[in-house]
Chains A and B, each alone.
Chain A
Amino acid sequence: MNPDMRTRLAGLELANPVMAAAGCAGTGRELARFFDIARLGAIATKSVMLEPRAGRPAPRMAETPSGMVSSVGLQGPGIEVFLQRDLPWLRSRGGTAVVSVAGSGPEEYAELARRLPASAGVAMIEVNLSCPNSAGQGRDFADVPAEAARVVRAVRGAAEDGVPVFAKLAADAPDPVDLAGACVEAGADGLSMVNCLRGMAVDPVTLRPALAGGVGGVSGPAIRPIAVGCVYRTREALPEVPVIGMGGVQTGADALEFLAAGASAVAVGTVNFADPSACVRILRELQELLEERGVDRVGDVVGAAHRPTGAVVGR
């Protein structure tokens, strides 16, 4: 029997729990050359800012063990082009749009949220907090719970009531669970965990940073246990708050691991670069795993790792 794959994230129901992660799926157009994007639970679009942005110079990425370190610098067309061209296209292909927003201060985030109503086809706003805080000596909003909360409060205040706001948190904040609590208190309807961790690679010949941006973000399967740990601890502390789990999801089994740790949905990120069909493959693998275990509804495995031995679903 086919398990019921539907999942809920705050008020939003997704057809299945497999999403494409922001910054790793473009605006859906690139992946649509490989599969029907309407099959995914949702697509989180690349973080959009108010104005066009050229980003950082190349080199922007370097391969690291089971992952990569990258520093793109939020290159993008700005909200106007996104609303005129990218979002309508994604909707026309039946994609569910989670729109990731990035700003240099709470005002920019709020202005973006105001321009992203449900009527434009926005299913959810995801607040990318791993952006340099222009008023905070370049530290990311995600580093300081009070700063993250200021941004989330501004977005929640500006966004339409029916549009859930999720805060996307980095795993290398001093205490990600504290940060999660601060965001929820500020009005976040849910959490996306985790964004990449700061790291770098040094060019072995020049002995200079391999990326033009110096320090970048580490992503890919290398960070998965860290991400699973963050989801697990957050679920423990905030059991009612829906979480989208992400960080190196490569297989259906990885997706199941995040669900068991407490995520209601999972997003596939860097692995899309390695395997453009990854999202639909992971969805199929997850469905097969749930079938094998005799699980009726995907929701039944969410948080399974928190239940006592013997309460494990299926098998």
Chain B
Amino acid sequence: MSDNGPVQTRSPVLTVRRVDAYHAITVVAPQIAERFRSGQFLSVGVGGEHSSMLLRRPFAIHDVKPDYGGTVEFLFAVRGPGTAWLAERRSRDLLDVVGPLGRPFPLPRDPVNCVLVGGGSGAAPLFPLAHALRRRGCRVDFVLGASSADRVFSAISARRIAETATFTTDDGSFGVRGRVTDALERVTADARADVVYACGPMAMLGRVAAAAARLELPAQVAVEEAMACGTGLCMSCVVPVVGEDGFTRMARACVDGPVFRGERVRFDDVGTIPFDALGAPGWKAWSDEPGAEGAPEREAG
């Protein structure tokens, strides 16, 4: 309905290719390409018209190009029958695509120094972000981590876009052995970083957010949470997030996120309802305490 909201399209597949250990599909979707801002995702129906797989699969948008009026690319690993079906698509097949969805990464007004941290295929949205930051004159440095060499994502393009690119693997098969957070302090110091952007698995994001807080750097993190609809309806993808008023709400990753300020996400409580979250058993007792400052905007959604 609105000009910058998501659209639903039947989009022809342009290419299906392999990128390292992942599959990449590019679809022609001009309306999605033109609305896209980095950090946003799309969702794809799988299995065809009479599919018994009802739920859409969400994917971060990895690349947007002006070809054919506008194309978008997303990446995935085959994890089940839905993604296996996607991997079998060929040029000119039609996909049911909804996007762009979610809140994008906020971009700095000034040309500041940005360190972009990604884990596995979760690094995908960092590439359009890097381009957007470079267009604003920002310095970009990458720290990309993965379990092993074949899971390190787009090492070549990372080196091409960024001032520096540091790689870490759990098994030491590529780059430095260890975690992204092991390299973060050095990279942020060398780059004189002003801000950290991160996306990847929840545990990694928690460590990055904590490290950024220790280094007194603001962090913007894009979370990965299982979704059923991607449009804010189903309330599946909730994450405990602290609001401006100090109250924790169960926020929907799909419409309230996926990008949040790192220090706002209660990573240690992900997968739980914190006792003091708005509408949780401990919330009322707490807000009724004498001296509690004002009533929060009572929104648990």
Contacts and interface: CB of A to CB of B under 8 A. Distances in A.
B54 to A, nearest CB: 5
Contacts of A54: 250, 273, 277-280, 283, 300
Contacts of A72: 234-236
Interface stretch (A25-33, A119-127, A155-163): A25-33
Give chain B's interface residue range (CB within 8 Å of chain A). 35 or more
Contact of A58 (B8, B225, B232, B279): B225
A114 interface: no
B279 A55 contact: yes
16 contacts: A24-B233, A29-B232, A30-B255, A52-B279, A52-B299, A54-B277, A57-B273, A58-B225, A58-B239, A58-B271, A60-B234, A61-B236, A63-B53, A75-B250, A77-B298, A274-B55
Contacts of A67: 54
Contacts of B2: 33
Contacts of B5: 33-34
Interface string B189-228: 0000000000000000000000000000000000001101
A273 B229 contact: yes
Contacts of B231: 30-31, 33-34, 273, 276
Interface string A1-40: 0000000000000000000000011100111111110000
A24 B228 CA distance: 11
Interface residues of A, number: 47
Interface string B282-301: 01100000000000011111
A220 B238 contact: no
Contact of B284 (A51, A55, A60, A81): A51
B54 A55 contact: no
Give the interface centre of B1, B6, B279 by most chain A CB atoms within 10 Å.
B279
Nearest to B270: A58
Contacts of A31: 231, 233
B173 interface: no
Contacts of B237: 58
B62 interface: no
A273 B300 contact: no
Contact of B301 (A59, A75, A80): A75
Which among A25, A55, A272, A274 has the highest number of chain B CB atoms within 10 Å? A274
Nearest to B96: A275
B56 interface: yes
Contacts of A24: 233-234
Contacts of B96: 275
B52 interface: yes
B98 interface: yes
A55 B233 contact: no
Interface in A142-177: none
B233 A272 contact: yes
Q: Specify the main secondary structure of chain A where it touches its partner.
A: loop
A59 B236 contact: yes
A68 interface: yes
Given A57-B273, A77-B298, A273-B56, A33 B228 contact: no
Given A68-B228, A81-B297, A212-B271, A273 B279 contact: no
Contacts of A56: 273
Given A33-B6, A54-B273, A68-B54, 11 more contacts: A25-B233, A31-B233, A34-B5, A35-B1, A51-B279, A54-B277, A61-B226, A63-B228, A77-B299, A220-B54, A274-B45
B300 A52 contact: yes
Interface string A221-233: 1000000000000
B54 A80 contact: no
Given A54-B279, A75-B235, A78-B279, A68 B55 contact: yes
B272 interface: yes
Contacts of A70: 228, 234, 236
B227 to A, nearest CB: 9
Interface string B238-260: 11000000000010000100000
A130 interface: no
B57 to A, nearest CB: 10
A34 B236 contact: no
Interface in B48-64: 52-56
B114 to A, nearest CB: 30
Interface in A41-86: 51-61, 63, 65-68, 70, 72, 75-78, 80-81, 85
A70 B279 CA distance: 19
Contacts of B279: 51-55, 75-78
Contacts of A26: 232-233, 301
